[in-house]
Amino acid sequence: MNGFEKRAALIKDKILKTTLEMLKTLEPSNLRIADIAKTAQVSQVTIYNYFGGKEALIHEVVKNYIDSSISDFQKYMQQDGTVKEKIEKMILQDKEAYHTLSPFLINQLLTEDKELAEYVQKETNEKIIPSMIKLIEDGKENGEISEKVTTQAFLVFINFCLKHYQELVEMVNQENNTDLIESMHHIFFYGICGKEE
């Protein structure tokens, strides 16, 4: 990469990061190229030259965010650790993601952007699900997951938990009850009748 290409890559990255930060507090419909340009300290023409328009810019921001999240997920799934540690890390990542781009916003964007929705589905099928299946198989092999738990049931259950985790976070914030998350984690790992060993 020559000097010009490096500079162009830095400017593009700055625009993407600025847009991501702004999406934390603004609806996409309220986001304006002029405001992004001002915050990123670039010209509006530069943004149009790199991305073509607001919709394409938001598409690129969300795609990069998803790529980064999946990459982080794959890294910690490949590290040494117990099934419990990996699931706790997965839940923590979901909680952190909630404060970056809310699941409601991502769902809205995926509904409006079919190409992005297809990309997310492809990445999930090719990267996330195989990692989850390996986690289950390893857990069964070392006795952390009961043989009674099927792969399909585990995937359905953990997907359900992750989809509704943002609701739990909102409840904790509203009621100022941090014990609720601990209690939900206990139910997840040990069931309502199980005891920690």
Could you read off the pLDDT of 67-93 as tens digits, one per residue?
A: 998 898 888 888 888 888 888 787 777
Q: What's the pTM?
A: 0.76
Average pLDDT, the chain: 83
Cα 26 from Cα 35, distance rounded (Å): 11
Q: Is the Cα dihedral 11, 14, 15, 16 positive or negative?
A: positive
Within 10 A of 152 (CB to CB), how many other CB atoms are there?
A: 10
For the chain, the farthest-separated pair of C-alpha atoms sits apart, in whole angstroms, at 63
Residue 31's pLDDT is: 93
Q: Which residues contact 162 (CB under 8 A, 6 or more apart)?
A: 90, 91, 94
Token pair, residue 15, equals 């625009």
Write out pLDDT tens, residues 109-159. Answer: 888 889 998 998 899 889 988 998 898 888 889 888 888 888 888 888 877
Which value, in Å, is the radius of gyration of the alpha carbons in the chain?
Answer: 20
Closest of 173, 25, 164, 170 to residue 187, by C-alpha: 164
CB distance 33 to 54 below 8 Å: yes
Write out pLDDT tens, residues 23-38. Answer: 988 889 899 999 999 9
